[in-house]
Structure 1
């Protein structure tokens, strides 16, 4: 595991919405006609994707590579609405939108890295 290969992320919060943007340079996307021109990843395999009221876990493997990236928050600061939360893809990034059930700020947890777990295997 090398720190230069680690994906980085940004955190934004507005009212009941929390946005994480995970930067993964190797990620490539294309627009799909059948999905209303939605951007879908073309060079990854989703290994694990779990969004629950209290936790978040996403692991992807870059195809033609041995790299596996994981972004995991073991315990979210407040419960989220799973049905309204979503994961979107763009070139070089994954956008994770979590919708909180309470209007309580998560800002104080951003300093402690949300107890996240990042993993890159080569």
Structure 2
């Protein structure tokens, strides 16, 4: 749970990666060697550190929708659709893609309702953080 919380917060994750040997480049290289390009660094690290079975980014996004279906259904439709579109951005590029300043420019995210759909529910940063916590909990 602590690792998951750290990973969900960009500044804390950066501090963690900066503390890894060679600023995390070794973990990225290991991901390449193991041919785990479809896995987020979160899964590479949790497999190495805790022996947890890794999930591909696609598996994680699908599990998010399935295991948190009640949460999604409790949201306004445009917010739900936007978060699902953001999960698809995670499939494409992992955690870094979710936190890209351009993520709300992605056509799928814009069509779903985009930033405005998240603002309707509250602070977008908080909603995305909650979504990431749920994403990494599955």
Q: Above 0.5 in TM-score?
A: no
Q: Report the TM-score range of the alignment, normalised by the length of the smaller protein.
A: 0.3 to 0.5
Structure (1/2) with the larger helix percentage = 2
TM-score, with length taken from structure 2: 0.34
The one of the two structures with greater contact order (alpha-carbon pairs below 8 A, sep at least 6) is 1
Structure (1/2) with the larger strand percentage = 1
TM-score, with length taken from structure 1: 0.36
